Copies of this chain bind each other. A is one copy, B any other.
Amino acid sequence: MFNLNQIRLDFPILNSTRNNQPLVYFDNAATTQKPKIVIDTISDFYSNYNSNIQRGMYFLADRATTEFEKSRRVVRKFLNAQLKEEIIFTSGTTQSINMVAFGFLNTVSSAGDEVLIGEMEHHANIVPWQVICDKLKLKIVTIKCCENGKIDIWDLKNKMNSKVKLLAVQQTSNITGHENNIKEICNLAQKQNIKVFVDGAQSVSHKPINLQDLNCDFFSFSGHKCFGPTGVGVLYGKKELLLKMEPFMFGGNMIDLVSFSKSTWGKLPYKFEAGTVNIAGVIGLGAALKYILSLGLNNIQKQEDLLKEKMWEELGAAKNVVMGLTKKPDSPIFSFNIKSTHSYDVGSLLDEMNICVRTGHLCAQPAIKSLGVSGFVRASLCFYNTEEEVSVFISALKRIMKIVNNGN
């Protein structure tokens, strides 16, 4: 059973108020709040078994290493990846993408080749590819998105050819909440021997992921966007590709032998985990994913569907609200504007009512441009939000319209 009131008690911050107004946190696409179990897991690590991992001979190091590697198993299970060593801990989605861009792309491409990128991607899934394509003299080709915000499969098919070596695409958009059909896309790409990198930053908190079913080549997400700590993320890659991929960082732990004449890299996944990684973060991420699994992603989806329906209906019915897209999103992420009002103004005034949303270009300037606006107000919900909060939010928007137009 999904007891929302009970669940909200798991998140200390959700019960806070400011100026006697309860917090309405609708910025979950930027970062989610953390359940107590995650916070306590981190404190427990630092208080009871903090130590560096993998090289220590002593009890604390053994316990820390064991918990760290348990997290790897949890992530494998959470994503249904095939092998534990296909799970690499990174500092976040951004690092994961940079690792593939700078360590893998050159192993499958040569000057003149092409990389496909969706036109609605987050900056993190654009800029690294731009920089490396510039260096390797590859061409970036953008894939159009349909009016529902998803990759236009026809455009994708048209642009796939033997020069294309990689496609970088998000599973769920941080602007529109729409979900690409990754399985279909991978299927098409594989037929032409195109590798697919999937940016899962916005999907992991909303729906079950089954990598063996999706069959993508790379997948990444950030801990902080799925109820886990900041400074930790995951890169998944198919083993045979990770074996080819060059490390992104060099240093301790990732090496096998070091001498001034030559150094050799260690085994998977350690080859990609140079230096002391975010041990507390990794262990905390394990706790976060276990928490999600304990709630059940199906239950989460059910609750989010309720919120989504209500938001969609009431936002759509509100006068002067202009939605970013005219189709209902797959995940409860809503980008919109209030007519002739800057998103900055809306955000500032919502803040006065203790309502948190994101405003502006949402780290996706090309996407915003392609939608013909200069910015958005984005309300991104998740399972711990309530229908009552949606009502509060809609009333707040109406109040803002009054304030802004009062002087007219």
Contact B276 A222 (CB under 8 A): yes
Q: How many Å from the CB of A285 to the closest CB on chain B?
A: 11
Q: Does A255 contact B (CB under 8 A)?
A: yes
Q: Does A206 contact B (CB under 8 A)?
A: no
Residue of B nearest to A101 (CB): B250
As a 0/1 sequence over residues 39 to 81 of chain A, the CB contacts with chain B under 8 angstroms (1 = contact) are 1001100111111100111111100000000000000000000
Residues of chain B within 8 A (CB-CB) of A365 are 257-259
Known contacts: A57-B359, A348-B57. The answer to whether A127 contacts B258 by CB under 8 A is: yes
Return the contact of A277 from the options B59, B127, B230, B348 (Cβ within 8 A): B230
Residues of chain B within 8 A (CB-CB) of A249 are 94-95, 98, 128
Q: Which residues between 89 and 115 of chain A lie within 8 Å of chain B, taking CB atoms?
A: 91-95, 97-98
Q: Does A122 contact B (CB under 8 A)?
A: yes
Query: Which among A60, A61, A359 has the greatest number of chain B C-beta atoms within 10 A?
Result: A60
Q: Does A296 contact B (CB under 8 A)?
A: no
Q: Does A13 contact B (CB under 8 A)?
A: yes
Q: Does A280 contact B (CB under 8 A)?
A: yes
Residues of chain B within 8 A (CB-CB) of A47 are 12-13, 34, 36, 39
Contact B124 A251 (CB under 8 A): yes
Contact B60 A278 (CB under 8 A): no
Interface residue stretch chosen among A145-153, A308-316, A349-357, A392-400:
A349-357
Q: Does A363 contact B (CB under 8 A)?
A: yes
CA A65 to CA B231, docked complex, whole Å: 15
CB-defined A-B contacts under 8 Å, sample of 17: A12-B48, A13-B46, A13-B49, A25-B60, A27-B58, A34-B47, A94-B276, A98-B248, A98-B250, A124-B274, A229-B280, A231-B231, A231-B232, A232-B278, A258-B365, A260-B366, A278-B281
Q: 4 new A-B pairs (CB below 8 Å) besides A34-B47, A60-B356?
A: A30-B56, A57-B351, A59-B351, A127-B263
